[in-house]
Amino acid sequence: MLPLRRTSLLIHRLPLARFSSNARENVNQSATQHDSDTHFGFQTVKESDKWKKVHKVFEEVAASYDLMNDAMSMGIHRVWKDIFMERLSPVGNGIRLLDMAGGTGDIAFRYMKYLQKQTAPDRKPSHVTVCDINQNMLDVGQQRWEKLNLPTAGDTIEWVCADAEKLPFEDSSFSVYTIAFGIRNCTHIDKVLSEAHRVLKPGGRFMCLEFSHVNNEYLKWVYDQYSFQVIPPMGQILANQWQPYQYLVESIRKFPQQNEFKTMIQNAGFKCVEYENLTFGVVAIHSGFKL
């Protein structure tokens, strides 16, 4: 199965460059037309500047992204992602999964491993599209995929650099849309949700794993102390980067509360929307269906 995996990777190197250019052109055109104020962490910036700042953050942290995830969460992010995959419980044949903001591949790789456990002899191969606006993150993901040497049993994976607010995919293209720890970095969350709804097939499922809000006041105080007093210095020590991790903890506080985000998903047209808090609300899983 090794030649198949390598072929898949090579086939998609040319589109990567094309989509990368288009993603940035689309953001620039949209920002020029409506250049309103928005937030970048606790800073107020123009919309045309936010995507550049976010892009720079992830360019800077790409190489140390997985190390810092383990350090900041003490490894718990792996448990959150495992639970996320359990809640998704992908079943059926020929599933097409779009993993948005999936750069380094954590969700996609879990899905591919899940598929290999499906033993039905007549199972149709599935396809995963890992999509991210940052090419550096995708490069790290591709390198990780090559090192994994995971048998695929005919399942395929591709890597596409594109903007979540203006996806280069046809309507009703995917069975499942996942986005983990990415949507809070987008300038227009409503546009991201609208695009997710557009590219999903009828009956398709939207699932989001994102940092959220702790409601218990004592736990919230402890969490805030850890976030602001420990995480940025940890970023400086382990990754020689303070500012990106200062942005990280600030961006979490600016993200909508669980019920507010649920309403936004419903407003995008999704039905049966619900959410589940993990670790007292430090993160939440939101789910909805295109019916």
Q: How far apart are CA 138 and CA 243, in angstroms?
A: 22
104 assigned binding-site residue: yes
163 assigned binding-site residue: yes
| DSSP conformation class of 123 | P
164 assigned binding-site residue: yes
Output the DSSP codes for 22-62.
HHHHHHHHHHHH---EEEETTEEEEHHHHHHHHHHHHHHHG
Q: How far apart are CA 215 and CA 239, in angstroms?
A: 31
162 assigned binding-site residue: no
Residue 272 burial class via C-beta count within 10 angstroms: exposed 0-12, middle 13-18, buried 19 and up: exposed
Q: How far apart are CA 150 and CA 41, in angstroms?
A: 38
Bridge-based pairing state of the strands 200-211 and 174-180: parallel
Q: Which residues are annotated as a binding site for S-adenosyl-L-methionine?
A: 104, 132, 163-164
| Binding region | 104, 132, 163-164
